[in-house]
Amino acid sequence: MKKSVLFVDDETNILDGLRRMLITMKSEWDMNFVNSGAAALDFLSKKHVDIIVTDMRMPEMDGVELLTQVQSKFPGVIRIILSGHSDKTMIMKSVKLAHQFLTKPCPAEKIKDTINSAYSMLKILKNEDVKSMVSRIDSLPSLPDTYLKVVEEMNSEDCSVAKVGALISSDVGMSANVLKLVNSSFFGFTNHISSPMQAVGLLGLDVVKGVLLTSHLFHSFKDENTRNFSLEKMMSHSILVARIAKAVALQCKMNRKVVDDCFIAGILHDIGKLIMLANFKVTYNVIIDNSKQENKSLWVSEKDILGVTHSEIGAYLLGLWGMPNSIVEAVALHHTPNLSINEGISPLTAVHLANVFEHRHVVLHENYEEHGLDAEYIARIGLTDSINELETLGKNICDETIS
């Protein structure tokens, strides 16, 4: 079936430009073009749409208002912003509303890639079981203010390590949580890190965003330890997976940005467990018992008992928060990478491998799932011959950290 994409822009010449630029996609996409928010909502109420791509600055109904309505009335539609310039206030308001951001002028290839990868996310967002479970969750954690401020700062032209460091420092609680996290022995820094600015300098701006989210989530759920589940162990597992994923990415010669995404996806890959644990504590304990007794992967027990897995819930949340698709995909499919429609090595590859290597080489996991490598996927992306070398890399990181 063709993907249905709706483009919204008040400027007719922009719509005409898009139509011309994307003409080669006609066989794969059913493309529609409207010139206002009201027309877009009217279209959505009459026809099925998979993906909406909208401008932000429009008279009467702007992009923020349009996407707010789309989010509540048509939550299954993927929301992409194609915006003229970085209007800080608007971007701040839309962080939670959009799944992806594109900046005009945007090359056709970039639009095609973004829409295609957003489409693979639809599978998660459209899963009725995930949706109904999320609707039973009273308090889906929201993005911390400091995170939004950091994202805004990073989108500005004069962004600097010092400014981002200062922003984090100004939030005393957040700053303490970030320092606690990066000073954990699992992070592998030999010297004590004493300020957020130093942390930003060492980790890089993008990675700091992932670390902010992680420390926020672990802090929000800090009272959720149960007889069966150790938050501390989950945190060390997540950090090690992030480090191994980054090492795998470097070894596979991925570019700098992708290497950072591998780290972020690694550190966040199991966050769905926290959400399940916090909202369905009794059931989650039953799930853990079930996976131990029947010797099956935790995610299989989750699927059997709750109908959804921690990978789907985590990916859904990150999707709602506007994380890049490659990170959402890595989280969603870290146990089942062969379901990905994308070819080639990606954050999904790095996180899948890192998760398995960490499970194999750190014997701490009475409450984590056991699972093996997906040989079919590894063969498909051409990594079979390098797998032993990559595993040694992962094992070395585990050995150095645990010893």
**Of 257, 274, 284, 254, which is closest to residue 213 (Cα–Cα)?**
274
Structure tokens at 212: 């902010």
Query: In DSSP terms, which residues pair with 4 in a beta bridge?
Result: 30
* Binding letters toward Fe ion, positions 302-341, x by CB under 5 A: ----------------------------------------
Minimum CB separation of residue 350 from Fe ion in Å reads 13
Residue type, 289: D
Helix (H) or strand (E) holding 361: helix 347-361
Among the listed residues 50, 55, 224, 270, the single contact to Fe ion using CB under 5 A:
270
Q: How many residues bind Fe ion (CB under 5 A)?
A: 2
Which own/partner contact pairs does 101-108 have at CB distance under 8 Å and 24+ positions apart? 101/322, 102/53, 104/14, 106/82, 108/21, 108/22, 108/24
Residue 214 makes contact with Fe ion by CB under 5 A: no
- Candidates 160-168, 255-263, 314-322, 354-362; binding stretch for Fe ion (CB under 5 A): 354-362
Structure tokens at 216: 């926020």
Residues 239-258 that bind Fe ion (CB under 5 A): none
Residue 54 makes contact with Fe ion by CB under 5 A: no
Minimum CB separation of residue 330 from Fe ion in Å reads 11
- The secondary structure of residue 263, as a DSSP letter, is H
Structure tokens at 356: 């398995």
Rounded to whole angstroms, the Cα distance separating 53 from 397 reads 42
Rounded to whole angstroms, the Cα distance separating 154 from 350 reads 25
- Candidates 64-72, 132-140, 200-208, 269-277; binding stretch for Fe ion (CB under 5 A): 269-277
Beta sheet of 3-8, edge-to-edge order: 29-34, 3-8, 51-54, 78-83, 100-103
Minimum CB separation of residue 305 from Fe ion in Å reads 16
Q: Which is nearer to Fe ion, 209 or 334 (CB)?
A: 334
- Candidates 55-63, 93-101, 260-268, 348-356; binding stretch for Fe ion (CB under 5 A): 348-356
Residue 55 makes contact with Fe ion by CB under 5 A: no
Residue 355 makes contact with Fe ion by CB under 5 A: yes
Minimum CB separation of residue 235 from Fe ion in Å reads 11
Structure tokens at 33: 């073009």
Q: Which is nearer to Fe ion, 100 or 355 (CB)?
A: 355
Minimum CB separation of residue 63 from Fe ion in Å reads 35
Q: Which is nearer to Fe ion, 50 or 270 (CB)?
A: 270
Q: Which is nearer to Fe ion, 171 or 270 (CB)?
A: 270
250 burial (CB, 10 Å; 0-12 / 13-18 / 19+) is middle
E-only strand ranges, 187-335: none
Minimum CB separation of residue 361 from Fe ion in Å reads 13
First to last CA, the chain: 53
- Candidates 93-101, 117-125, 162-170, 264-272; binding stretch for Fe ion (CB under 5 A): 264-272
Helix (H/G/I), strand (E/B), else coil: 271: helix
Q: Which is nearer to Fe ion, 34 or 249 (CB)?
A: 249
Q: Which is nearer to Fe ion, 56 or 217 (CB)?
A: 217
Q: Which residues bind Fe ion (CB under 5 A)?
A: 270, 355
